[in-house]
Amino acid sequence: MPDTDRTAVLFPGQGSQTDDMRDMAEDVRPDLVALARDVVGEDPFDRVDDATRFQQPAIFCASVAGFDMLDVTPAAAAGHSLGEFGALAAAGAIDVEDALRLVALRGSVMDAAAQEAPPGGMLAVLKGKPGQAETIARAADVVVANDNAPGQVVLSGPVEALDAAAAAAEREGLRAMRLPVSGSFHSPAMEPATDQLRAALRDVEVRRPRFPVLSSIFARPFGHVRLELALALTHPVRWRQTLHALRDAGIDRFVETGPGKVVTGLVRRTLSDVEAFAVEPEGARA
């Protein structure tokens, strides 16, 4: 295992589910899988492709299981949106059971907000130069939801406005790809979801983390955990900037806890001089 003094552990976000993530979660953290069934009301792994409220707790369970497989204390951690809950739980800032309950609530209120708002979605704009996707977003009256890596920016907003943004991107020779999500996440459309999450966060004990956990909306260590987790519903994920902040702090090895290898790919696209790999059930490197 890499030198923990220079290693950061990364927790993936929504959309990173894999077919084998249930096996990893049940093998390593059957207690969390059982709790997920209780708080969701059914098995979230059975319906992981159906809705946000199932996908988020399932990915959380698998990610925590992946971290437990590492059996290390890293120098730092970060999570991509949803992944922040796993990172904070791994660092001991929030009890893992409390974090799972918050994640289940988060997925539920985000689903509800998406259903109550006008039809919305998210659009990945690929292969653009710096600032190009942001210009397209302003012209189409949508927002930047994720700055994931060089040439990979995700926009969020109403369906018709995203169609206009996609057409503009293609006119400029970029690739535009709609994401399979049910709402305008990381945008003002999620504001109705924040009140319930804030209320639940007030009842959760927050402690000093065992290692720094960076906020993916501010690209710096969490300062006010409850406030920043709630703000993340309506603010963009600055993942590219978060990776640079970790690298600037001396991190040169990045381990993704799983499921999947999405975050590992973003690290490799963003930072050319670091090592990045993903935890797999057999412990192999990606």
Q: Taking 60 as the threshold, does the pLDDT of residue 58 lie above it?
A: yes
189-206 residue pLDDT tens: 999 999 999 999 999 999
Structure confidence at residue 180 as a pLDDT band (50, 70, 90):
confident
pTM > 0.85: yes
Q: Taking 90 as the threshold, does the pLDDT of residue 134 lie above it?
A: yes
Domain shared by 43 and 111, yes or no: yes
Q: What is the dihedral of CA 105, 109, 114, 118, to 10 degrees?
A: 180
- Total structural domains within the chain: 2
How much is the average pLDDT of 8-35?
93
Catalytic: 244? no
Domain shared by 235 and 142, yes or no: no
Domain final residue pick, 178, 195, 212: 178
Q: How far is residue 194's CA from residue 192's CA, in Å, rounded to a whole number?
A: 6
Residue with tokens 């006119």: 171
Domain shared by 130 and 242, yes or no: no
Residue 160 within a domain: yes
* Helix ranges (DSSP H) in 46-95: 52-70, 83-90
Question: Can you give the CATH number for the domain in which 127 is found?
Answer: 3.30.70.250
Domain shared by 143 and 207, yes or no: no
The predicted structure's pLDDT at residue 5: 78
Catalytic, out of 16, 63, 81, 156: 81
Domain shared by 36 and 97, yes or no: yes
Q: What percent of the chain has pLDDT over 70?
A: 97
Q: Taking 90 as the threshold, does the pLDDT of residue 150 lie above it?
A: yes
Residue 242 within a domain: yes
Residue 105 within a domain: yes
Expressed as residue numbers, the domain containing 126 is 120-178
Domain final residue pick, 160, 178, 196: 178
How much is the average pLDDT of 234-245?
98
Q: Is 19 exposed, middle or buried (0-12, 13-18, 19+ CB in 10 A)?
A: exposed
Domain final residue pick, 155, 178, 201: 178
Structure confidence at residue 181 as a pLDDT band (50, 70, 90):
confident
Residue 101 within a domain: yes
Q: Taking 70 as the threshold, does the pLDDT of residue 281 lie above it?
A: no
In whole numbers, what is the pLDDT of the chain averaged over residues? 93
Structure confidence at residue 283 as a pLDDT band (50, 70, 90):
very low
Domain shared by 130 and 255, yes or no: no
Question: Can you give the CATH number for the domain in which 16 is found?
Answer: 3.40.366.10
Q: Is 273 exposed, middle or buried (0-12, 13-18, 19+ CB in 10 A)?
A: exposed
The predicted structure's pLDDT at residue 126: 96
Q: Taking 90 as the threshold, does the pLDDT of residue 4 lie above it?
A: no
Three-class secondary structure of residue 120 per DSSP: strand
73-86 residue pLDDT tens: 899 999 999 999 99
Domain shared by 159 and 128, yes or no: yes
Residue 286 within a domain: no
Domain shared by 24 and 151, yes or no: no
Residue 154 within a domain: yes
Domain shared by 38 and 62, yes or no: yes
Catalytic, out of 186, 187, 215, 235: 186
Domain shared by 169 and 201, yes or no: no
Domain shared by 79 and 15, yes or no: yes
The predicted structure's pLDDT at residue 285: 37
Domain shared by 111 and 198, yes or no: yes
Catalytic: 81? yes
Residue 283 within a domain: no
How much is the average pLDDT of 233-257?
97
**Degrees (nearest 5) of the Cα angle 37, 58, 228?**
110
Residue 129 within a domain: yes
